[in-house]
A and B are shown apart, each in its own frame.
Chain A
Amino acid sequence: MSAARTQPAGLSKWVVTLPPTIFLLVFFLVPALIVALAGFRETGEFGGLAPWPGLSLDAYRFLLGDVIYLEIFARSFLVAALTTLLCIVFAYPLAWLIARSPKQRRDVLVLLVILPFASNFLVRIYAWIMLLGPANLLYTPFAVIVGMVYAHLPFMVLPLYINLEKHDPALLEAAQDLGANAWTRFWRVTFPLSLPGIFSGSALVFIPVLGMFAVPELLGGTGDILIGNLIKEQFLENRDWPLGSALSIMLTACVLLLAGLAAWAAKRGLHGTEAVS
């Protein structure tokens, strides 16, 4: 904010934000619009799209007129919610431990959390095939959740760690002086203060899990179809681009709605925190 006061405000703001804005416009907004438009086109005889103009609402009518697609949406949200919850449960102690470690050790621990990214995601999922296969747990819903949690755990640990690291230890000391036991100190001080970390971590986990198709395809059994698999199938095997596009847009709409809700909840969470602290 101080920079805005000392420099010609408009210009520097533009210089800084222009490249990412252009990037997002070209690589996010334009493709998203293409997909949105494709959802209203007709299917081509040999896949893809029918010749222009050929506009119709068929794809949406087909999807909305059938409860089975709703079922897959619901299932995907359930898997994403469960994955997020488990990620919070597993990541919290870890992030807390890292944040409370001596400063020189923290970087090593954070590096260890990031280290799995050094190898390809699919290779790591294949490793789970090797681990779960002999235990007869492969091709089950359990395996899907394991794979999802494993793949997304670092995305929960890092924002949580960044948040927890900033907490002022004096707050906990003050709480202790006022007679709060460890349990109360955690739930009344640490946890409310860490809510922003939980929210940003949850967004980083929940949204990618919703669209994930590789994990259920490789680890899942005969019933583990998620919305990501359905979309992939429409674009590749079935070559029904309008249907795939309509599904993608419906998923995007759901995610945006949720992100809006989460932002609203986070705001409330922050106000709540202020009240506590």
Chain B
Amino acid sequence: MALVLTALLLLASLPLRAADTLYLYNWNNYISEDTVRRFEAHCRCRLKQDYYSDNEEMLAKLEAGAVGYDILVPTGNAVESLVRRKALREIDKARLPHFGNVKREFLDIWFDPGNRYSVPYATSVSLLGYNADKMRELGLPTDTWALIFEPKHLKKIKGRVTVLNSQRELMAAAMKYLGYSVQEHEPARWEEAKQLILRAKPYWAAFSNSTYIKDLAIGTVWVAHGYSNDMFRAQQDAAAAKRPFQIGFATPKEGAVLAVDNFVLHQSGRRPDLAHQFIDFMLAGENAADVSNLIGAGNTNAAATPHILPEIAANPGIFPPPDELQRLEMLRDFDPKLRRTLSRMWTEIKVR
């Protein structure tokens, strides 16, 4: 399958390869049309994007041999795995005059010490989105994972809860609620997380990675475990449709998973010159601000702050305050053995 896809991709991309085209392999809906047009005017080149909906999809496609992408936008753990596989090209910071705009706290992270290969772009938090009116009516707390793990809360919202269909994300939420690190290596503690999830599962409606946006916005689901930028979208959608309720979202006080997405240069890219130009363009404050204003992602760019709409900049679910940032953890890849153990637990969670 992957091979066929790769072959098709090659066939499809070869005849189109114009002289001045930058190829970006990006998340769905992560750079606005408007930003793209401004960049194309700025560089007098074309920007072509292909999309993925999770890191693993992107890694699998590259692993199967996909070539020709200048820039990728992987999350931290995927950056680490790309670096280890020597799939990335070093970034020449001399060609990035705006590099200094990156906030200090997002530089020099474990997945790429010294930022040799990556430039942070945006962040999201895996948190709880909720129907604010229902929560008030039922008197439920919205700032704790207890909302989706404790039967005493869950029995009031049975069948109205969805959680992420992701072993790493959901088990990380359970670990945080139990007070453990998401990077725990002790299987017994993961076992505890599994038990916690199994106890709560009968109250959940579904494991969902995308449909919760719509479900929250139309009011069929009242609490969803998901990504902050998706919650932002559900909030916007509900407001645009003039629903009689509001969608809120907040990071649980026990801590949560933080995802930092970064620009990196793929080895197979043919236009590192344009790629550097693109990254520097995106580092300028007014361009960097778009990702927050349009899709509600957290921003790693200090110069963007004045350009971000005040109601978005002030939302702690999107921009975690410094003390909250301390309680957020990034996901890091496990070794194959632990991966298999956790996968076995996850299968059990799904079957029971």
Contact with B along A111-134 (1 / 0, CB 8 A): 000000000000000000100011
Q: Which of A223-277 contact B (CB under 8 A)?
A: 223, 225, 229-230, 233-240, 243
Say yes or no for B150: interface residue by CB 8 A criterion. no
Q: Which of B258-266, B288-296, B339-347 contacts A (4 or more CB under 8 A)?
A: B339-347
Q: How far is the CB of A10 from chain B (nearest CB, A)?
A: 32
Contact across chains for B333 and A68 when beta carbons are under 8 A apart:
no
Contact across chains for B340 and A243 when beta carbons are under 8 A apart:
yes
CA distance A233 to B336 in the complex (A): 15
Say yes or no for B84: interface residue by CB 8 A criterion. yes
Contact across chains for A72 and B351 when beta carbons are under 8 A apart:
yes
**Known A-B contacts A27-B4, A46-B85; A240 and B340 likewise in contact (beta carbons under 8 Å):** yes
B84 and chain A: residue at smallest CB distance = A46
Say yes or no for A16: interface residue by CB 8 A criterion. no
Contact across chains for A236 and B84 when beta carbons are under 8 A apart:
no
Q: Which of B324-349 contact A (CB under 8 A)?
A: 333, 335-336, 339-340, 342-344, 346-348
Tally chain B residues at the interface, Cβ within 8 Å: 42
Contact across chains for A45 and B56 when beta carbons are under 8 A apart:
no
**Known A-B contacts A47-B81, A48-B63, A240-B343; A129 and B336 likewise in contact (beta carbons under 8 Å):** no
Contact across chains for A236 and B333 when beta carbons are under 8 A apart:
no
CA distance A240 to B336 in the complex (A): 8
Q: How far is the CB of A40 from chain B (nearest CB, A)?
A: 15
Chain A residues near B335: list those with CB within 8 A: 45
Chain A residues near B350: list those with CB within 8 A: 222-223, 225, 229
Q: How far is the CB of B243 from chain A (nearest CB, A)?
A: 14
Chain B residues near A222: list those with CB within 8 A: 201-202, 204-207, 350
In this complex, the interface size class of chain A, counting residues with CB under 8 Å from chain B, is: 35 or more
Say yes or no for B54: interface residue by CB 8 A criterion. yes
Contact across chains for A237 and B166 when beta carbons are under 8 A apart:
yes
CA distance A45 to B85 in the complex (A): 10
Chain B residues near A230: list those with CB within 8 A: 347
Q: Which of B54-84 contact A (CB under 8 A)?
A: 54, 56-57, 59-60, 63, 80-81, 84
Q: List 9 A-B contacts (CB under 8 A).
A: A43-B336, A46-B80, A69-B347, A138-B206, A217-B165, A218-B211, A221-B205, A222-B207, A223-B350
Q: Which residues of B contact A (CB under 8 A)?
A: 1, 3-4, 54, 56-57, 59-60, 63, 80-81, 84-85, 165-168, 201-202, 204-207, 211, 214-215, 218, 220, 333, 335-336, 339-340, 342-344, 346-348, 350-352
Query: Apart from A75-B351, A238-B342, what 9 extra A-B contacts exist at CB < 8 Å?
Result: A43-B339, A46-B333, A62-B344, A69-B347, A139-B205, A236-B56, A238-B167, A238-B343, A239-B59
